Amino acid sequence: MANPPLGVPSLPSSSRAAPVPTDYFGTRQLLAEVGIPFGEARPAESEDAALATAAAIGYPVVLKALGTAHKSDAGGVRLGIADEAQLREAFREMQARLHPTSFSVEKEAPLARGLELLIGVKRDRRFGPIALVGLGGIAAELFHDLAVALAPVTVEQAAKLIRSLRGAELLLGYRGRPRLDVEAAARALSVLSELAATRSDIGEVEINPLLVLDRGVLGLDARLVSLSTDPETR
């Protein structure tokens, strides 16, 4: 196009790489490879494996039951597990109630030191990939504080989106709180939007929460929907 519309980003050439992974650990690995850091997490298929993994990672840990879209809503996430006895109890309770395909044992993140955001990209049938950012964790559905833009977005554009949120002051040192690393969050959103714009087989990808700290960010959960496996997103 000789004169593309102003403000509309040009899409990168579509990648012909192997199909994108949609499983929990495959998605985390894909996003880590493009530069988004994630907390330590390991799969566990059995109670003994979960105990061994927690001992290797070090307590406190988080236990997640995999195979459920909204793990927290379903009671599939247990935070602050301090010892082996608590882990055994959490594992058995989730296994009996949810019958998950597998589990993830993860190092407890320093939640009190940061703020949770949601970052993602969704491919719209008309407009193509749309980048979004908002308050994350349980606040995502409670406040619906979101900002969106056509993807991909630059780091500067991503930072403007983050600062446009109603809750942005919580990142910027509100009432004596430490100023958090908005720039690192913007870089994460930018590379995520670039990945989704490049990969036409990504229908939707989301990191929620993305924990923003005073230095850097940490992805705590991720989800990806592939167009090749979900015809409803075509």
Query: Where residue 98 sits, what CATH number does that domain have?
Result: 3.30.1490.20
**Whole-prediction pTM value?**
0.86
Task: Residue 148: name the closest of 126, 122, 184 by CA.
Answer: 122
For the chain, the domain total comes to: 2
Query: Quick check: is 18 in a domain?
Result: no
In this predicted model, what pLDDT tens digit does every residue of 98-119 receive, in sequence order?
999 999 999 999 999 999 999 9
For residue 41, the model assigns a pLDDT of: 97
Domain that holds residue 66: 41-107
* Tokens representing residue 99 in the block: 């019958």
Query: Quick check: is 60 in a domain?
Result: yes
29 and 61 both lie in a single domain = no
Query: Quick check: is 3 in a domain?
Result: no
Of 81, 107, 133, at which residue does a domain stop? 107
Query: Quick check: is 194 in a domain?
Result: yes
Of 64, 86, 107, at which residue does a domain stop? 107
Query: Quick check: is 9 in a domain?
Result: no
Q: Which residues of the chain have pLDDT under 70?
A: 1-17, 68-73, 139-143, 228-234
Virtual torsion, Cα 168, 171, 174, 178, nearest 10 deg: -170
